[in-house]
């Protein structure tokens, strides 16, 4: 089997505690996961579960206090500043907020050209590359002459994506890149991510708290809970037939547009909570199945027959 592009083994991250003699706060506990070349690994979990921290550890933005991060066969857990800079062509990032991630005082052309010029690309080659990039993210060529404030949130996120792609990375860490967008723009930008991946073979670690989003974009999904991976597997399996109770609860907590379905989910969540309490006091600890709440399309329910009907948009083809 081919080696994964990125491999995290038992990664531990601790933040310094606040206050006199405070103990460090361990935010990631021996997290292991891998991303293959050309693959999207979705990373989901509640707020505060450590998703961003893991992304930052991979990008070298927070110190890793245990375990290893290996990228393309090379240990990148602790790199010097120059080595990290050299790696920035291969590992890029797209953040959530398209309003603060672009320098407001510079034209889009300058924003996109800068990393190329720093990397030693000639001005004329950089200009040509920018025309190609704007075309790839479906923005008009004259966008290069304009300032970020002249664009909508969705368009700005396309600019941020173009910037991330400018040096043909092999991996992009995407931290909630569509969470600030309205639904229509979310779909468009997600489709753009997929289209780019199919064309270039780039891999994504796609961080989101939104299961509908993760299902659409991911090949595999990892579920993080309080700094531990509790479940990892095929995107369809994890988002429709999760084996871990935490994922089941996460799935049921995801809002759906239809109030009737929402009420059904609330009831299912209550049933799940009761089952959990019973199973903790009873002889077995087997997690209840999701059938009957319309997630797996199980029988004997007047709820929706498929995940799509339950308000979860289509999965990755």
Please report the DSSP string for 192-203 in residue order.
HHHHHHHHH--E
41-49, 64-72, 123-131, 162-170 -> range binding ligand ATP (CB under 6 A) = 41-49
| Three-state SS at 182 | coil
First to last CA, the chain: 23
- Gap between the Cα atoms of 218 and 206, Å rounded: 8
Number of helices followed by number of strands (H, E) in the chain:
10, 10
The option from ligand ATP, Mg ion, none interacting with 2 (CB < 5 to 8 A, set by class) reads none
Within 13 Å of residue 149, how many CA atoms lie on the same side as its CB?
3
45-53, 115-123, 198-206, 266-274 -> range binding ligand ATP (CB under 6 A) = 45-53
Binding mask 186-225 for ligand ATP (x = CB under 6 A): -----------------------x----------------
Within the chain, what is the greatest distance between any pair of CA atoms?
71
| Three-state SS at 249 | helix
53 contributes a contact to ligand ATP by CB under 6 A:
yes
50-58, 125-133, 163-171, 260-268 -> range binding ligand ATP (CB under 6 A) = 50-58
By beta-carbon proximity to ligand ATP, the closer residue of 29 and 36 is 29
- Gap between the Cα atoms of 163 and 133, Å rounded: 8
> Which one of 4, 50, 154, 242 is in contact with ligand ATP (CB under 6 A)?
50
Q: Which residue is at the shortest CB distance from Mg ion?
A: 52
Closest distance of CB 51 from ligand ATP, Å: 4
> Which one of 52, 92, 113, 296 is in contact with Mg ion (CB under 5 A)?
52
Residues of this chain that bind Mg ion (CB under 5 A): 52
């Amino acid at each position: 089997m081919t080696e994964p592009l990125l491999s995290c083994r038992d990664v531990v991250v601790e933040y310094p505690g606040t206050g006199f003699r405070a103990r460090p706060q361990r935010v990631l506990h021996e997290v292991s996961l891998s991303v293959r070349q050309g693959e999207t690994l979705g990373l989901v979990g509640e707020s505060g579960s450590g998703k961003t921290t893991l992304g930052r550890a991979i990008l070298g933005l927070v110190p890793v206090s245990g375990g290893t991060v290996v990228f393309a066969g090379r240990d990148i857990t602790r790199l010097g500043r120059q080595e990290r800079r050299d790696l920035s062509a291969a590992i890029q990032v797209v953040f959530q907020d398209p309003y603060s991630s672009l320098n407001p005082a510079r034209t889009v052309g300058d924003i996109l050209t800068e990393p190329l010029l720093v990397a030693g690309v000639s001005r004329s080659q950089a200009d040509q590359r920018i025309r190609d990039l704007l075309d790839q993210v479906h923005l008009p060529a004259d966008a290069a002459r304009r300032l970020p404030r002249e664009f909508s949130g969705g368009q700005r996120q396309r600019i941020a994506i173009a910037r991330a792609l400018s040096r043909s990375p092999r991996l992009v860490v995407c931290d909630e890149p569509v969470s600030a967008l309205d639904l229509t723009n979310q779909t468009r930008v997600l489709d753009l991510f997929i289209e780019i991946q199919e064309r270039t073979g780039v891999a994504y670690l796609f961080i989101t708290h939104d299961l509908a989003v993760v299902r659409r974009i991911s090949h595999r999904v990892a579920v993080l809970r309080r700094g531990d991976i509790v479940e990892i597997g095929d995107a369809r399996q994890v988002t429709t037939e999760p084996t871990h109770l935490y994922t089941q609860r996460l799935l049921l907590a995801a809002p759906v547009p239809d109030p009737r379905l929402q009420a059904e989910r609330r009831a299912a969540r209550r049933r799940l909570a009761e089952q959990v309490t019973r199973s903790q006091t009873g002889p077995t600890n087997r997690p209840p199945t999701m059938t009957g709440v319309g997630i797996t399309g199980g029988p004997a329910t007047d709820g929706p027959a498929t995940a799509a009907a339950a308000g979860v948009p289509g999965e990755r083809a």
